[in-house]
């Protein structure tokens, strides 16, 4: 059972992180389009929002994959995801937007699980903890 828990914790963390990493890389590949989308939603400072999104998505994705400062990173990503859901997917009369909103809420829930239960034993956090003892 311990081996299954270890594999599930690492796999879940990596799968969630992949979403953020791919999204951040996609933003890097299309800066004008991304900033235009941010501006069209009515958010101020599209360039700043774009840069923050890249830092959070790419940086958070990488940190989550390796399991470093996992609980804090998962909380930051959870807040970011919920904020993005509210800012970009708030037209609930549109079924597609509602699906995206609910997807983001589900991702937030997964991230809160990671924040609550930690990265598991296959992580830099676990390695640092073991070295400290």
pLDDT per residue over 1-47, tens digit each? 788 988 999 999 999 999 999 999 999 999 999 999 999 999 999 99
Is there a contact between 15 and 61 (Cβ–Cβ < 8 Å)? Answer: no
Look up residue 45 and give its DSSP letter. -
pLDDT per residue over 88-116, tens digit each? 999 999 999 999 999 999 999 999 999 99
The domain locations on the chain are 2-132
Q: How many CB atoms lie within 10 A of CB 47?
A: 11
Contacts by 44-50 with C-beta closer than 8 Å and gap 24+?
A: none
């Amino acid at each position: 059972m311990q081996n299954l828990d270890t594999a599930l914790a690492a796999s879940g963390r990596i799968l969630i992180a992949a979403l953020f990493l791919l999204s951040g890389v996609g933003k890097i590949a299309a800066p004008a389009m991304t900033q235009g989308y941010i501006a069209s939603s009515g958010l101020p400072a599209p360039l700043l929002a774009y840069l923050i999104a890249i830092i959070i998505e790419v940086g958070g994705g990488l940190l989550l994959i390796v399991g470093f400062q996992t609980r804090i990173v998962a909380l930051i990503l959870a807040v970011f995801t919920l904020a993005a859901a509210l800012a970009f997917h708030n037209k609930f009369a549109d079924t597609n937007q509602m699906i995206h909103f609910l997807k983001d809420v589900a991702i937030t829930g997964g991230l809160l699980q990671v924040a609550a239960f930690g990265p598991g034993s296959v992580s830099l956090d676990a390695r640092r903890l073991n070295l400290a003892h």
